[in-house]
Structure 1
Amino acid sequence: MKHLYSVFLSSLLLLTCLTAIAQSHGSVSGVVKTSEGNPAAFVNVSLKEARRGTITSEDGTYQLKNVNPGSYTLQITFVGLQNQEKTITIKAGQTTTSDFSLAESTSQLSEVEVTGNNQVVNLGKAGIAPLDLPQMTGVVSNVLITNQQASRLGDVLKNVSGVSLTQQRGGVAETFSARGYSIGIAGAGGNIFKNGVISNTMGFPEASTLESVEVLKGSSALLYGNVSGGLIINMVTKKPRFDFGGEVSMRVGSFGFYKPIIDLYGPIAKNLAFRVVGTYEKSNSYRDVVKTERVYVNPSLLYKLGQKTTVLMQGDYLKSNLTPDNGIGSLNQNQDAIIPDVPRSRFINTNWAYNNVDQTSGSLNIDHAFNTNWKLTVIGSAQGTNVTAFGAGVPNNNVAPNGDWTRSLSRTLTSEQDYTGQVNLNGRFSTGSIGHQLLVGSDVVGVVSVSNSFTINYGAGKTAYDKINILNPNLYETRTDIPDAIGTSKTTSPSVRNGIYVQDLISLSNKVKVLAGVRWSQQKTVQTTILNLLTGAETRGTAETKTDAAFSPKVALLYQPTRNTSFFGSYANNFTINSGVDIYGQLLKPSIVDQFEAGVKNELFNGRITANVGVYHIVNSDLAQMAPTKADGTPNADANVKEFTGQTTSDGLEIDFTGNLSKNLYFITGYGYNYMRYTKASLVKGSPIEGERLTNNPAHTANATIFYTFDRSPLRGLKLGASAFYTGNRYGGNNNQYGQTPAFSRLIPLSGFTTVDLSAGYGFRKVSVLAKVSNITNALNYLIHDRYSIMPIPPRQFTATVSYRF
């Protein structure tokens, strides 16, 4: 709290110093409404001569700040509708008000398909326009999520170039890959956020009720500290609205799937609005025995405290009961892992296995505008995730070549508490002819993980649960009872990270801009506490408390020859925390990962088409590897003793081409190429093999989606769509090591595959029906976690949704 308080005071001091400069500019604001007098959200508002623009908020309001005095043409555009223009005059130190009334009704606007890929990514904290942001991004809107009938985050991220779903860890969580780096599910180094704060995604977050999913590719350490160099993901929930409405839906599908969804919003008072989104899901699976039952509720309140301050309260609750599923296992034939030739539905866990997740989160956002140019945002959040699970352990290299597997059991009881605080000050001002878009902020993230250990009573004289054969389930008689599991210890592992950052987008002219910033981060991993549940004694873990700190700079040059095109080149870094010690017994410092990125962004035909291309080069030249010798020169056999002699390099290309050609037609396409490999390694046992590609990183990925809605008789209301997703060749398993014993390949080669989905629907007034056949060719491939969780992808399935909007 002292840390946040000092940053708050510093921000106010900076604001006081710059306010006088800011008064030399003016601003324009207003509200856009429909023909019925309702707010018109997500309408594009721009000043043609200033090459500046924004979109209206949920209540139809807009504001453009820090505009030089003069006459301008104010333009209102919306996909598929007639543009409107007004001539306005902006005066220094004053706000010009200009309202618009559209000829279209609320229902007409709701019919327009908007994917939103040229919208501002709120995860960037500074509200920088897409053409001014020197890194590749991706935004998947609720329209696309709804049309594809997506329920899981992995279903949504397939629409972002260069991102792939590579693992399903035990069938209860998803792991993604981007730019050669793995994107985990939780913890202090987590890369997945909800409404801008860290989020644990165990048990699968509910994606069907999201407003959008945002992606910032590459390093975002300047804004968020110790996060992956691949990307960070932000799930944006739906917000309250001041017009009453909502939607109820029923979704059904293959394998007994059904899912009612409700979305209700409206005003409670003049300055207070609410929204409640909820869903219930129950289904079987293409996997034998596997079942799912889920409940999700997301209430929120929006309070407008005068004209300058808004308070947003959000919460959600997820109860996810899943059958844990490690896939079909693997055969160890001559020590090489072989994918067994068994049906896609083959299930090898116990029939009674369970994995139950209870998750509750809440957040408070306060936005205060000091004037038209300066805004302060304060965010506080907390999330609790509790997991209880029981079932067979993983078949990790212990399935015999004939398919025999002696099953042991694994009991899980864990919890994670995540806390986040943020303070961000955003401002626009000028120093002479040079414009600035400034961000000053601070954040703190605390994570407390608790895990329990158990001993399992298999029965008198038994050291394992039973034996099965994964090739022939009828070969042995399997047990069906649930043994007693006695808790023996509870381990508490706290960590906290915090940082202070400053970033400035400097407009040297209308065509040349520089973005520069730096962050100082500190991460503290506190020594664990171990409670013996049998004796009540409490001890400390062997690893001492460790504090790591690092600076994360970023600098970029942008050249914008026209208002629709932007070339950029940038340097940024991020850091990764290392475990272990060096040969002198000192804790290892963080590894600094350098990233270079260049690209071009285009917004054509008033933003209806975006065409972006980016290339990147990422080098971790401080990869910690096992040291070959100790300090005295004798051979080292301790894998915890390391040195910075390794290196990985990731090179790649990303292409995005999207279009909202009219209110009837939109498309989104993307392609990603990545070459992630070890580029330097020691010739010591246990070190990586130089030149070998890292696992779970496809060389090529591609996506394409198109939807068209007919608006003329006799096909008026008919909607057709198609999606195709390609994941290229890659390796599963584990990377090989130099001098490993025995000498066998730990890699599992996987071929590329394509899935194709076809959709068709019909809408009449307030009712709509949408149906989809996914993986229509019934393609078969696998997602692999390590060498044991080999999960076949879903087969051909059918899904349909009936909705009523009011």
Structure 2
Amino acid sequence: MKHLYKLLSFTLLLILSANTFAQLASAPARGSITGKVRSKDGQPAGYVNVQIIENNRRTLTKEDGTFSFHNLKAAEYTIKTSYVGLQVQSQKVTVTEGQTATVDFILSENSSELNEVIIAGTNSQNLKPVTLGKIAISPRDLPQAVQLISSVTIADQQMNRLSDALKNVNGVAFGANRGGVNGETFYARGYALGTNNVFKNGARTTTGGMPETSTLESIEILKGSAALLYGGVSGGAVVNMITKKPKFNYGGEVSMRAGSYDLYKPTADIYGPIAKDLAFRVIGNYENAGSFRDDVTSKRVYVNPSLLYNAGKNTEILIQGDYLKSDFTPDFGIGTVGNKLPQNIGRNVFLNTQWAYNKTNTTTAQANLTHKFNDNWKLNVIAALQSYNRNYFSSERPFAAQDGTWNRALTRSKTEETTFNQQINLNGSVKTGSIQHTILVGADADQSKTKAYGYSVPNNLTDPVTKSKYYDQVNITNGSSFNIPSNNNLPETPLISDTQTPIYRMGAFIQDLVAVTDQFKVLAGIRYTFQKTPRTATTDYLTGQKTINKNGIDKSKTESAFSPKVGLIYEPFKTTSVYVSYANNFTSNAGLDINTNSPMDPSIIDQYEAGIKNDFLDGRLSANLTVYRILNNKFAQTALFDAQGMPNSDTNRKEFTGKTASDGLELDITGTIVKGLNFLAGYSYNFMRYKKTLEETKDNTGKVIIPGGIKEGERLVGTTKNTANASLFYTLQNGDLKGLKLGASAYYTGDRNGGRNTNKSGTSTGIIPLGAFTTFDLSAGYSWKKLSLLAKVANITNELNYFVHENYSVNPIAPRQFITTLSYKF
């Protein structure tokens, strides 16, 4: 707690200092223009283009509809508001030296109409700030790649899972789905996106139950290192799922989605005011689906209620929660035979037991308070809670010998995870002379506890060679061998223990975007993160004894790190920005340092990035290019020698002797050339590999004491060399066919390595090479008044390929499928 008090005190001091500084330095050097854009019914209009005609300076209204221009010479100016599909408005305003002029706009659309126009317009992603940035900075001013999946794209592509959305994001590749039980696995820039890298409304969330994406407002992706803002995240990317918010006008939508393999999914979305300052929204759906995989089913229930309270003119409180119950059949795919893809097993063949189950329950609750002190300073406070439970019983991955025989083992597990998250962020702007500062100061903390239950599993048979335990033996190339009693009888698995694993994180950071001139900007910041991992505690239910698991550590493991970030941004034109940046993040390491006999320090991973962001056709077309290099020159490996200089065979004794590198390129194109035509496309290249690993160590008899590390230069398993995507949807705006929608999408996944990386000792199970493939989707629909119908044929060429999670899951991609959604808006 003392560390938390220190961080909160530090943050409070920074807030008071920044507020005082703002009051002392707020006087404009020349003149300013401020204003607000509202809809016809008085609601703020966010993300509307505002332009000064005389000098072509542009900005975007914030979420509260406000905008501002500073450092203006005394003169008369013409201010214009515009957006694709909106009526252009303009007003004259006179600026006086040292004064602030005010001009407001009332649009011809109401808030509901405006929301539809702005979403359909798919405004430049280089202008709309993302929640993940924790501050209203235009992505064009961020020295980092950003991508947004809007609610229009989510609806047009009829998305259900996170993988449906992220295949539209260049630089993020789907790795696998290990049995459908541990959530979907993604890699960004060569690094796996774990739970720490996925957020919901800005707070960390689990992906274990496969989050519901069909009802989201948007999905934000901040690529590269986000450790400055979020602490212990991997360097590839962070993903934020944003749920829909309440509205102060009545409305809603009901829909029914149906498709191949008995997919049925009704959804309801209702919103409106409860009182003058209080609005609600409730979204819910039910999904019952089969699969192209035999005997695989899923049943899901999702509810997402929320309340929005305007506590005052400058204060807003948003309370959100959701509940997901997801039951589905564990499915590890078609397995491997002799560590190779089987040639005679169809992609529909199910190799698990008939009674296998995986039941999950995820509950989240969040309170978000936003208070605006004045036009320059805003405070945001978030408190979030998440509970995730999983109950699982299944056979494990089919990993057969060359003749197809598989020693089938059973796994029974149950876990309960509880996570708390707190954040406080203060952001605002001040001027020192003619230099503008956009400042963000924040602190956050996470506390999580996982309880894993242990069971007595009836794996009573022993392999004579490997000595591993298993339940029974079948042959995966002979379907009749599965018709044995043990396949249908649920074995007894008494509960025998539980193990509790807590972890605590906290951190504080400060960031400043310095506008040295209108063209040249510098973003700099630093974060301090503290992490405490107490030793796990196991309770034996038979004896009642509680044991603290030391693993060579006599007390809780504590570690800390500073995470700096600096970027240079040059904007030669108002539509173009060029940037270079450096940032780092840290990863925790298990084991003991061979030199100090203390827990290993974290590895510091350095990331270098450069890019160019361009807007064309008045923001209707954006094209961004990014290149990066990520280096870990402090990769922990098993120590070669112990403290006495003798060969070390204890894998818990580590030293920093390894290196990894990840290089890549990303191209992102989005646009709305004309009203009704939305498209996005992208390409990425990544090469993630080990640059230095252990050489094997043998004793005097030639016996390998320490196995060699992974072969240098070999592409890391799970990462994808090349990915590409393109999606185009067009809705006719006029004529007899007005409301007709046509769409097409294509997704390319390049060569990958499945299985396990080759080690220098030749003892790994080996690489499973996977070739490239492309899938095509075609969509068509029609909207008439409040009714709409949209249909899609996915993987229209019936392409066959696989995702391999090491050698744990060999999951065939889905064959040709049909999906349709009928919806009614009110």
TM-score above 0.5, yes or no:
yes
Q: Structure 1 pair 85/214, CA: closer, same or farther in 2 (3 Å)?
A: same
Q: Structure 1 pair 251/200, CA: closer, same or farther in 2 (3 Å)?
A: same
Within the alignment, does 1:790 sit opposite 2:810 as a pair? yes
* Structure 2 partner of 1:508: 516
TM-superposed CA distance for 1:740, in Å, is 3.6
* Structure 1 partner of 2:727: 705
Query: Following superposition of structure 1 onto structure 2, how do residues 327-342 of structure 1 map, counting pairs within 5 Å?
Result: 327-332=333-338, 336-342=339-345
Q: 2:611 aligns with which of 584, 590, 599?
A: 599
Q: 1:553 aligns with which of 540, 543, 564?
A: 564
Q: 2:121 aligns with which of 101, 114, 127?
A: 114
8 Å contact kept, 1:467–1:476: no
Query: Following superposition of structure 1 onto structure 2, how do residues 362-511 of structure 1 map, counting pairs within 5 Å?
Result: 362-395=365-398, 397=399, 399-457=400-458, 464-478=470-484, 479=486, 480-511=488-519
Q: Structure 1 pair 393/737, CA: closer, same or farther in 2 (3 Å)?
A: same
Cα distance between partner residues in 2 of 1:789 and 1:47 = 57
TM-superposed CA distance for 1:50, in Å, is 7.5
Deviation larger for 761-770 or 85-94: 85-94
TM-superposed CA distance for 1:729, in Å, is 0.2
Q: Percent identity, please.
A: 47
8 Å contact kept, 2:93–2:101: no
8 Å contact kept, 2:382–2:422: yes
Q: Structure 1 pair 66/711, CA: closer, same or farther in 2 (3 Å)?
A: closer
Query: Following superposition of structure 1 onto structure 2, how do residues 502-581 of structure 1 map, counting pairs within 5 Å?
Result: 502-543=510-551, 544=553, 545-581=556-592
Cα distance between partner residues in 2 of 1:181 and 1:66 = 41
8 Å contact kept, 1:27–1:63: no
Query: Following superposition of structure 1 onto structure 2, how do residues 261-280 of structure 1 map, counting pairs within 5 Å?
Result: 261-280=267-286
The secondary structure found in structure 1 opposite 2:25 is helix
* Structure 2 partner of 1:126: 135
Within the alignment, does 1:146 sit opposite 2:147 as a pair? no
The secondary structure found in structure 1 opposite 2:577 is strand
Q: Structure 1 pair 586/709, CA: closer, same or farther in 2 (3 Å)?
A: same
Amino acid at match of 1:453: G
Cα distance between partner residues in 1 of 2:318 and 2:493 = 44
Amino acid at match of 2:519: K
Amino acid at match of 1:769: L
Amino acid at match of 1:574: N
Amino acid at match of 1:75: K
The secondary structure found in structure 1 opposite 2:483 is coil
The secondary structure found in structure 1 opposite 2:21 is helix
Q: Structure 1 pair 251/55, CA: closer, same or farther in 2 (3 Å)?
A: farther
* Structure 2 partner of 1:30: 36
Query: Following superposition of structure 1 onto structure 2, how do residues 287-306 of structure 1 map, counting pairs within 5 Å?
Result: 287-306=293-312
Residues paired across the two proteins, number: 791
Deviation larger for 785-794 or 683-692: 683-692
Query: Following superposition of structure 1 onto structure 2, how do residues 671-690 of structure 1 map, counting pairs within 5 Å?
Result: 671-684=683-696, 685-690=707-712
Q: Deviations over 1:120-159 (max 9, x none)?
A: 1110112210210111111000000000000000100111
* Structure 2 partner of 1:638: 650
Query: Following superposition of structure 1 onto structure 2, how do residues 209-228 of structure 1 map, counting pairs within 5 Å?
Result: 209-228=215-234
Within the alignment, does 1:183 sit opposite 2:185 as a pair? no
Q: Structure 1 pair 105/359, CA: closer, same or farther in 2 (3 Å)?
A: closer
The secondary structure found in structure 2 opposite 1:80 is coil
TM-superposed CA distance for 1:167, in Å, is 1.0
Q: Structure 1 pair 225/195, CA: closer, same or farther in 2 (3 Å)?
A: same
The secondary structure found in structure 1 opposite 2:288 is strand
Within the alignment, does 1:163 sit opposite 2:172 as a pair? yes
Within the alignment, does 1:804 sit opposite 2:824 as a pair? yes
TM-superposed CA distance for 1:20, in Å, is 2.4
Q: Structure 1 pair 284/433, CA: closer, same or farther in 2 (3 Å)?
A: same
Query: Following superposition of structure 1 onto structure 2, how do residues 303-318 of structure 1 map, counting pairs within 5 Å?
Result: 303-318=309-324
The secondary structure found in structure 2 opposite 1:799 is strand
Amino acid at match of 1:426: N
Q: 1:18 aligns with which of 15, 22, 44?
A: 22
Cα distance between partner residues in 1 of 2:389 and 2:109 = 51
* Structure 1 partner of 2:466: none
Cα distance between partner residues in 2 of 1:93 and 1:159 = 47
8 Å contact kept, 1:327–1:789: yes
Deviation larger for 676-685 or 421-430: 676-685
Q: Structure 1 pair 307/90, CA: closer, same or farther in 2 (3 Å)?
A: farther
TM-superposed CA distance for 1:66, in Å, is 6.9
Query: What is the RMSD of the two structures over their aligned residues, measured on CA atoms?
Result: 2.1
8 Å contact kept, 1:152–1:205: yes
Deviation larger for 68-77 or 122-131: 68-77
Amino acid at match of 1:115: T
TM-superposed CA distance for 1:18, in Å, is 2.3
Q: Deviations over 1:61-113 (max 9, x none)?
A: 41125733555433322223442222334676757250222268955863662
* Structure 1 partner of 2:794: 774
Amino acid at match of 1:582: D
Q: Deviations over 1:401-429 (max 9, x none)?
A: 12222322111110111111111110101
Amino acid at match of 1:63: T
TM-superposed CA distance for 1:337, in Å, is 3.7
The runs of 5 or more residues in structure 2 that have no matched partner are 464-468, 697-706
Q: Structure 1 pair 27/628, CA: closer, same or farther in 2 (3 Å)?
A: same
* Structure 1 partner of 2:637: 625
Q: 1:258 aligns with which of 254, 260, 264?
A: 264
Cα distance between partner residues in 2 of 1:762 and 1:656 = 29
Deviation larger for 305-314 or 142-151: 305-314
* Structure 2 partner of 1:67: 70
Within the alignment, does 1:612 sit opposite 2:628 as a pair? no
* Structure 2 partner of 1:79: 84
8 Å contact kept, 1:416–1:450: yes
The secondary structure found in structure 1 opposite 2:132 is helix
TM-superposed CA distance for 1:466, in Å, is 3.0
The secondary structure found in structure 2 opposite 1:474 is helix
Q: Structure 1 pair 631/208, CA: closer, same or farther in 2 (3 Å)?
A: same
TM-superposed CA distance for 1:650, in Å, is 0.7
Query: Following superposition of structure 1 onto structure 2, how do residues 732-747 of structure 1 map, counting pairs within 5 Å?
Result: 732-741=754-763, 746-747=766-767
Q: Structure 1 pair 182/108, CA: closer, same or farther in 2 (3 Å)?
A: closer
Amino acid at match of 2:5: K
8 Å contact kept, 1:65–1:428: no
TM-superposed CA distance for 1:29, in Å, is 3.2
Amino acid at match of 1:496: Y
Q: 2:771 aligns with which of 751, 766, 779?
A: 751
Cα distance between partner residues in 1 of 2:315 and 2:823 = 35
8 Å contact kept, 2:410–2:458: no
Cα distance between partner residues in 2 of 1:154 and 1:352 = 27
Deviation larger for 139-148 or 85-94: 85-94
Within the alignment, does 1:582 sit opposite 2:593 as a pair? yes
TM-superposed CA distance for 1:41, in Å, is 5.7
Q: Structure 1 pair 52/11, CA: closer, same or farther in 2 (3 Å)?
A: farther
Query: Following superposition of structure 1 onto structure 2, how do residues 349-364 of structure 1 map, counting pairs within 5 Å?
Result: 349-364=352-367
Q: Structure 1 pair 681/73, CA: closer, same or farther in 2 (3 Å)?
A: farther
The runs of 5 or more residues in structure 1 that have no matched partner are none
